Amino acid sequence: MEFQHTPVLLQEVLYWMDVRENGVYCDGTLGGGGHSEAILKASGGTAVLYGIDRDETAIAAATERLQRFPGFHALPGNFHDGKKLLEEAGAGPLDGVLLDLGVSSPQLDTPERGFSYHTDAPLDMRMDRSKGMTAAEFLNHADEKEIIRVLRDWGEEKWAVRIASMICEHRKSKPLETTFDLVSAVDAAIPKAVRRKDDGHPARRTFQAVRIEVNDELAPLQQALKDFVDCLKPGGRICVITFHSLEDRIVKKAFKTLENPCICPPKAPICTCGRKPSLKVLGGGVIVPSGEETERNPRARSAKLRVAQKIMEG
């Protein structure tokens, strides 16, 4: 498979990252290397850039794409472990970090990955196919209450109870093995009248929820953001692109906490907790794609970019 992915909010990332010659950067969600390539080009090819990804296909494709840049270093692994991976690679303090938390187009479009509800395929959904449970293993072995929790917490699915019940009914006679098995369970659970009124595919929230659970995408995110801020130089910037409200809320909360970490009572005359801000939020909070970009790339329509700068010491 050729790993092609259209980078979202590319011009906005380059502007807010404020790429410099000889800078040191980390793309924590390397994908096909589109954002990384643009950062390296913007530096005149002089930057050092560490690209992290747990998808072996992405690492191979990006390495081939970026091999002409002497400063590019691929780091196989999960961005949740980014601080450790960077330390092991001997990276110094960073001028910028990018995290694009969306699923790459090649992952969605490659049937055997099992991310898409449009194509019948093995129900996998793992970012790293070398380890961890598949979506099928989770859905066939988790108890009904756990499935309800996942659908509610990670998919914000109103029909979580009925969908979980239908999944459990389905697996009594035959294990769920393919994406269409899961789609069928969702279709059976949601009334036809509701499905007809739905703007998108009725299974999209279920697929999102199961993907997040299988890949443990959200639980470690807040700590990972703090770790990457620790890796920044004073004045360095972190850019995070999210694609759904759960991720965006976590990023917003993490940035707000690092910008205003004081835990003193609101009416206290002076701060006594001693916690100092480490970030300043930039860009007015949230930056969204232009109309031209969403028309050109419909998958960008739900993207949101948040940017913050590490506060200068002293």
Instruction: Summarize pLDDT for 150-189 with one digit per residue, the tens.
Output: 999 999 999 999 999 999 999 999 999 999 999 999 999 9
Query: β-pairing, 232-242 with 304-310?
Result: antiparallel
Long-range Cβ contacts of 63-70 (<8 Å, 24+ apart): 65/32, 65/33, 65/37, 66/33, 66/36, 66/37, 66/40, 69/37, 69/40, 69/45, 70/45
The domain locations on the chain are 10-101+218-310, 116-215
Q: Residue 198: what pLDDT?
A: 75
Model confidence over 199-234: pLDDT tens digits? Answer: 778 999 999 999 999 998 888 899 999 999 999 999
Q: What is the pTM of this model?
A: 0.84
User: How far apart (Å, rounded) are the C-alpha atoms in residues 78 and 228?
Assistant: 13
In what order do the strands lie in the sheet containing 48-53?
72-76, 48-53, 24-27, 94-100, 232-242, 304-310, 279-287
Q: What is the pLDDT of residue 1?
A: 45
Architecture of the 116-215 domain? Orthogonal Bundle (1.10)
- What is the per-residue pLDDT for 272? 79
Residues of the chain falling short of pLDDT 50? 1, 314
CATH number of 10-101+218-310: 3.40.50.150
Q: What are the tokens at 38?
A: 């643009």
pLDDT at residue 110, rounded to an integer: 75
- The pLDDT assigned to 90 comes to 95
The pLDDT, as a whole number, for residue 314 is 43
